[in-house]
Amino acid sequence: MQLKVQPIDIKVGKYKVVLNTIDAKELGVYEGDRVRIKDHVTLTAIVDFTEDMISPGMVGLYHEVQEQLQREWTETVEVEPAERPKSSRIIRKVMDGFKLERDEINELVKDIVEENLNDIEIAAFLTATYIKDMSEDETEWLTRAMIETGEKIEFSTSPIMDKHSIGGVPGNKISLLIVPIVAANGLLIPKTSSRAITGAGGTADLMEILAPVEFSASQIKEMTEKVGGVIVWGGATNIAPADDKLIKIEYPLSIDPHCQLLASIMAKKGAVGAQKVVMDIPMGAGTKILDAKTGRKLARDLISLGERLGMDVDCALTYGASPVGRTVGPALEVIEALKVLETMEGPNSLIEKSVALAGMLLEMGGVAARGQGRDLAYETLKNGKALAKLKEIIEIQGGNPDVTHEDIKVGEFKADITAPANGYIIEFYNKRIVQTARYAGAPNDKGAGVLIHKKRGEVVEKGQPVLTVYAEKKDKLEDAVKFCRENPPILVEGMLIEKVADLREL
Amino acid sequence: MQLKVQPIDIKVGKYKVVLNTIDAKELGVYEGDRVRIKDHVTLTAIVDFTEDMISPGMVGLYHEVQEQLQREWTETVEVEPAERPKSSRIIRKVMDGFKLERDEINELVKDIVEENLNDIEIAAFLTATYIKDMSEDETEWLTRAMIETGEKIEFSTSPIMDKHSIGGVPGNKISLLIVPIVAANGLLIPKTSSRAITGAGGTADLMEILAPVEFSASQIKEMTEKVGGVIVWGGATNIAPADDKLIKIEYPLSIDPHCQLLASIMAKKGAVGAQKVVMDIPMGAGTKILDAKTGRKLARDLISLGERLGMDVDCALTYGASPVGRTVGPALEVIEALKVLETMEGPNSLIEKSVALAGMLLEMGGVAARGQGRDLAYETLKNGKALAKLKEIIEIQGGNPDVTHEDIKVGEFKADITAPANGYIIEFYNKRIVQTARYAGAPNDKGAGVLIHKKRGEVVEKGQPVLTVYAEKKDKLEDAVKFCRENPPILVEGMLIEKVADLREL
């Protein structure tokens, strides 16, 4: 069918065109079908349908299709029904419980990266793998395919170190300490990190306060070779791009299929050339890992996948039922981390967790003897070498190396949340703390967050401040305080415990 | 956040708004999240994201949201993040393998009908039920919820008869014979039918050649009470509207979860008040039901769901490995059916299948004694009463009752497909026949289709016509012939059998 081109200058993130339902009927294409557009270039696109946006006889070409046609087309183009991509059948195979071959996984990941699949198909794939999981072979192939379909960094020296936190614990600013400790001891650690989606601040959100975080793979390589480490945003690179596209569909479903979780983590590590990796697996109420058994299984799976990929993986099950340190939210967390680097003053939970994990990396990297890693890490923090290294990292990423914790601005609006009764704090709800910080504006408003005065097990008196909420905007502070009053993030011994149904919701 | 309204006059079929990614980040909403729009009306909408279509500070309101705001809004509206609907958690529960409660299923179906769920969520639900199926209780509740969320017809007399074909066999024009046979014997049969999606012509596509097929539920009731039966398009009513919305997502995934199949069929029957129903379950290569075991299981499940709903269901496993009759495609099928009604001339497969199923209905409806149904049906066809009744039905639906098979126009372009060798026809590929008809333009071009001269088991000589392909457009005829040559729909004994891999694709 010859249709007249109508450019639609909207980015939709996929190769899509719009047909009037009358023409679609004539062509015999329905929801989720593809058409082939033939002009000086031939391409396949997913069809959207409209009764009003595009007239019969026209075909609307979204931005991405226009780009693929190099922004040149004749007045009318030939439009014909196209078969579904092979991946469509491969997904069906997963739904039917069959194992995939390696080339099928390659095909599928290629189509995900090239945006040849629609959201419905990717959702079916993720749901099926969530329910049925994948074999070790499949997970390995998936990881390799995710690495191969993106940019890769290859260093000429070794070892290349890396760390990853599974997430789920608020205030986990440890990468700001670990990366400089490791790099200060002569090891290379090209740390890519994420921004928060459901959290109050990812490492990339924090680091952005100190320096730019958006770099290409080759820039990451170059900077790491110069100063030993970087802390950048992985999302700005084209490293394991399949992962971002899967997360976009996982998020609305609130799922993270086990095999995807493994592949996602390990693909990002593999793509930057990491050889020795420490995994931080926070465990406990409010985290992703509710008990030690689940934590150990995840650890074993990560280690085994690492072996298959030629990567040395060590895992640490860490305490995750309370926030790490006493701050949640970008600026507050950066202040806390810098203060430790500058003065060694700060919460024990932050310092101990950081030196323990950094110590593991120092041992794995061969710069500390077995059993000596933690002490070397502590020493590196204490003697200022870690701070000096962080300044180098900040500088090479284009930030101001002279920054101190006093330069970091928090939100100008603040409010105290006080204890409702005398007693011990017996519960601390991570998710409510995070939610409070988010209502206050985190992670988008860098100055928003929560300062924690009292943690689990500490004694409070009625009326004493337990938390201070910071915000950059007055109405956001009000929202956060309102949320906090309605959903108290702490429980003091003797307080009326809320209905279990309520807690379960969070 | 106060955002300036920008109306977008496009129908998207859901309550959706568009935010610039900058504002979305500020609000903390991501892919698949909802926002609450507060103006003189408060509503919840799914968010789409754009970098270019809507400027920061603006919110784009699609057609459906504008309608919900009664097309009146102030210059700026308050936009805030909204929680996900309860159904979102209910879907997660299905994915996690838990059984649903009745009120959860009601909530879910309500949200599907009211378009509160996005495609990703519905795809996850369908994938999960495809993999895990539903219990009998759940399937019953699902069916009832699908009935209750749409229009219902309640007749004051009984019994109300109905028939349904599971589909998958080409040329199944039997409803054009069965409905008038049943109605001519004094029973009421308000037959709603579908249009073809992957087929060459649904009953609604066929009937449309004879009369209009789009009516409301109350018109269906009124017409049925007057003349005993109708043959209308179910899609034009608001009967079991959840079904259409689920099919829109099932189609791209090429799945039809067992529980959905049951609920979909029975909800449409239940909603029109059917009390006694015959199910035609075509079986054999190329149909949905590959063997008798699967067919019997489906029959048992339909009968058992019918019992739960107070509906009397009889099932017939029918031969489906070859087309019914010798025509595939709307006009050709109508000609074949009318010819049988007018002259009793026509293929045995069509006549026998129609009177067998009609006979079952006559017995169930109490107008034929046990074992006498088929003969009464045959007699009704032969003595012209069925034809007279069809004319009444055509007339009441607004068509011309004087139509004869000679008035029906087929496509003016035609081509013969000849036998490639001497011998018996040992295979007949249904899907290739359908595909040929579709390439020729069916079901949209009513005159397009395939006339079958020789069927399985018949002897052909090399060069003798086996099929004639009809089309309304010359280029479509060429496409169909090309497809047919590359994918021969028949196999003559002694012909080189193609690679199994190829056949499996179909």
Give pLDDT, residue A494.
Answer: 62
Q: Check if CATH label 3.40.1030.10 holds for domain B161-237+258-405.
A: yes
Rounded Cα distance between B471 and B409, Å, is: 11
CA distances to A199, A418, A469, B459 from A485, in Å: 20, 10, 12, 84
CATH 3.40.1030.10 intervals, chain B: 161-237+258-405
The segments of chain B whose pLDDT lies below 50 read 496-506
Q: B interface mutation test: which of A49, A111, A120 has the most B CBs within 10 A?
A: A120
H or E element that contains B375: helix B373-382
Q: Which of B189, B153, B160 is nearest to B393 (CA)?
A: B189
- Helix then strand then coil, % of chain B, to nearest 5: 45, 20, 35
Q: Is B249 on the interface with A (CB under 8 A)?
A: yes
- The ipTM assigned to this model is 0.89
Rounded Cα distance between A178 and A378, Å, is: 10
Q: Is B157 on the interface with A (CB under 8 A)?
A: no
**Angle made by CA atoms A47, A48, A54, in degrees to the nearest 5:** 110
Question: Which chain A residues are closer than 8 Å to B126 by Cβ?
Answer: 124
Cβ distance B254 to A88 less than 8 Å, yes or no, reads: yes
Per DSSP bridges, beta strands B16-20 and B34-38 are unpaired
Is residue A277 predicted with pLDDT exceeding 50? Answer: yes
User: A198: annotated binding-site residue?
Assistant: yes
CA distances to A328, A435, A442, A444, B332 from A452, in Å: 8, 14, 15, 20, 78
Rounded Cα distance between A73 and A39, Å, is: 7
Rounded Cα distance between B223 and B245, Å, is: 27
CATH 3.90.1170.30 intervals, chain A: 413-505
Cβ within 8 Å of B, A 184-223: 197
Q: A interface mutation test: which of B30, B98, B118, B120 has the most A CBs within 10 A?
A: B120
Cβ distance B95 to A30 less than 8 Å, yes or no, reads: no
User: A55: annotated binding-site residue?
Assistant: no
Is residue A24 predicted with pLDDT exceeding 60? Answer: yes
For A234, which DSSP code? G
Question: Which chain B residues are closer than 8 Å to A121 by Cβ?
Answer: 123, 252-253
Rounded Cα distance between B506 and B173, Å, is: 23
Domain A413-505 is of which CATH architecture?
A: Alpha-Beta Complex (3.90)
CB nearest to A121's CB, from B26, B97, B252? B252
- Cα dihedral B2, B4, B5, B6 sign: negative
Environment class of A481 (CB within 10 Å of its CB; exposed 0-12, middle 13-18, buried 19+): buried
Q: How far is B421 from chain A (nearest CA, A)?
A: 31
Question: Which chain A residues are closer than 8 Å to B124 by Cβ?
Answer: 123-124, 126-127, 253, 255
Q: Tokens 């379909």 sit at which residue?
A: A149
Rounded Cα distance between B479 and A194, Å, is: 51
Give pLDDT, residue A108.
Answer: 98
Across A203-296, where does the E strand assignment appear? 229-233, 276-283
Q: Is A95 on the interface with B (CB under 8 A)?
A: yes
Phi, psi of A20 (to 5 degrees): -70, 145
Q: In what order do the strands lie in the sheet containing B459-460?
A: B459-460, B423-428, B490-492
Residue A174 neighbours by CB under 8 Å, 6+ apart: A165, A280, A324, A350, A353, A354, A357
Environment class of B498 (CB within 10 Å of its CB; exposed 0-12, middle 13-18, buried 19+): exposed
Phi, psi of B478 (to 5 degrees): -60, -40
Give pLDDT, residue A353.
Answer: 95
Q: Are B341 and B385 in contact (CB under 8 A)?
A: no
Give pLDDT, residue B500.
Answer: 38
pLDDT in tens, B399-451: 999 999 999 999 999 999 998 888 888 888 889 999 999 999 999 999 999 99
Determine the residue of chain A that is closest to B505 in CA distance: A89
Rounded Cα distance between B11 and A15, Å, is: 20
User: A199: annotated binding-site residue?
Assistant: yes
CB nearest to B10's CB, from A26, A53, A438? A53
Give pLDDT, residue B494.
Answer: 62
Q: Which residues of B are annotated as a binding site for AMP?
A: 168, 194-199, 203, 264, 288
Rounded Cα distance between B430 and A313, Å, is: 55
Cβ distance A253 to B121 less than 8 Å, yes or no, reads: yes
Q: How far is A51 from chain B (nearest CA, A)?
A: 7
CA dihedral B475, B476, B482, B486 (to 10 degrees): 160
Q: Are A193 and A234 in contact (CB under 8 A)?
A: yes
Q: How far is B248 from chain A (nearest CA, A)?
A: 6
Within 10 angstroms of residue B72's Cβ, the number of other Cβ atoms is: 9
Q: In what order do the strands lie in the sheet containing B276-283?
A: B161-165, B276-283, B312-319
Give pLDDT, residue B495.
Answer: 56
Give the SS3 label for residue A467: strand
Question: Which chain A residues are closer than 8 Å to B97 by Cβ?
Answer: 131
Q: Are A107 and A21 in contact (CB under 8 A)?
A: no
Q: Tokens 């060590």 sit at which residue?
A: A314
Across B320-409, where does the E strand assignment appear? 327-328
Cβ distance A252 to B126 less than 8 Å, yes or no, reads: no
User: A91: annotated binding-site residue?
Assistant: no
Is residue B256 part of the annotated active site? The answer reads: yes
Rounded Cα distance between A332 and B195, Å, is: 61
CB nearest to B25's CB, from A252, A255, A444? A444
Q: Is B130 on the interface with A (CB under 8 A)?
A: yes
**Angle made by CA atoms B14, B17, B18, in degrees to the nearest 5:** 130
C-alpha distance across the termini of chain B, in Å = 53
C-alpha distance across the termini of chain A, in Å = 53
Cβ distance A123 to B128 less than 8 Å, yes or no, reads: no
List the structure tokens of A212.
Answer: 């730019």
Question: Which chain B residues are closer than 8 Å to A130 by Cβ?
Answer: 95
Give pLDDT, residue B506.
Answer: 38
Q: How far is A371 from chain B (nearest CA, A)?
A: 42
pLDDT band at A495 (very low <50, low <70, confident <90, very high): low
Q: Is A456 on the interface with B (CB under 8 A)?
A: no
Of B256, B280, B301, B479, catalytic: B256
Cβ distance A10 to B50 less than 8 Å, yes or no, reads: yes
CB nearest to A9's CB, from B52, B97, B251? B52
Q: How many CB pairs under 8 A join A and B?
A: 116
Strand partners, B317: B281
Cβ distance A120 to B255 less than 8 Å, yes or no, reads: no
Rounded Cα distance between A294 and A302, Å, is: 12
Give pLDDT, residue A322.
Answer: 87
Q: Which of B46, B50, B63 is nearest to B8 (CA)?
A: B63
Strand partners, B460: B423
Cβ distance A130 to B95 less than 8 Å, yes or no, reads: yes
Residues of A recognised as catalytic: 256
Q: Is A486 on the interface with B (CB under 8 A)?
A: no
Q: In what order do the strands lie in the sheet containing A423-428?
A: A459-460, A423-428, A490-492
Q: B interface mutation test: which of A205, A253, A438 has the most B CBs within 10 A?
A: A253
What average pLDDT does the structure give for chain A? Answer: 92
Q: Are A435 and A455 in contact (CB under 8 A)?
A: no
- Cα dihedral A271, A276, A278, A279 sign: positive
Cβ distance A91 to B32 less than 8 Å, yes or no, reads: no
CATH 2.40.40.20 intervals, chain A: 2-82
Rounded Cα distance between A160 and A225, Å, is: 10
Question: Which chain A residues are closer than 8 Å to B119 by Cβ?
Answer: 119-120, 123
Cβ distance A253 to B33 less than 8 Å, yes or no, reads: no
Is residue A506 predicted with pLDDT exceeding 50? Answer: no
Within 10 angstroms of residue A292's Cβ, the number of other Cβ atoms is: 13
Q: How far is B95 from chain A (nearest CA, A)?
A: 7
Q: Are B399 and B206 in contact (CB under 8 A)?
A: no
CA B455 distance to own-chain centroid: 27
Rounded Cα distance between A498 and A197, Å, is: 28
pLDDT in tens, A57-73: 999 999 889 998 888 88
Domain B2-82 is of which CATH architecture?
A: Beta Barrel (2.40)
Q: Is A32 on the interface with B (CB under 8 A)?
A: yes
**Angle made by CA atoms A405, A410, A416, in degrees to the nearest 5:** 120
Rounded Cα distance between B299 and B277, Å, is: 12
List the structure tokens of A175.
Answer: 């990468």
Question: Which chain A residues are closer than 8 Å to B118 by Cβ?
Answer: 252
Q: What fold, for B86-132?
A: 1.20.970
pLDDT in tens, A366-379: 999 999 999 999 99
CB nearest to A444's CB, from B28, B92, B197? B28
Question: Which chain B residues are closer than 8 Å to A253 by Cβ?
Answer: 32, 91-92, 95, 120-121, 124
Whole-number CA gyration radius for chain B: 25
Strand partners, A44: A36
Domain A161-234+267-405 is of which CATH architecture?
A: 3-Layer(aba) Sandwich (3.40)
Is residue A309 predicted with pLDDT exceeding 80? Answer: yes
Q: Tokens 């928090």 sit at which residue?
A: A410
CB nearest to B248's CB, from A31, A97, A197? A31
Q: Tokens 């709903």 sit at which residue?
A: B309
Question: Which chain A residues are closer than 8 Å to B197 by Cβ?
Answer: 30
CATH 3.40.1030.10 intervals, chain A: 161-234+267-405
List the structure tokens of B286.
Answer: 């190329």
In SS3 terms, A9-74 reads as CCCCCCCEEEEEHHHHHHHCCCCCCEEEEECCCEEEEEEEEECCCCCCCEEEEEHHHHHHCCCCCC
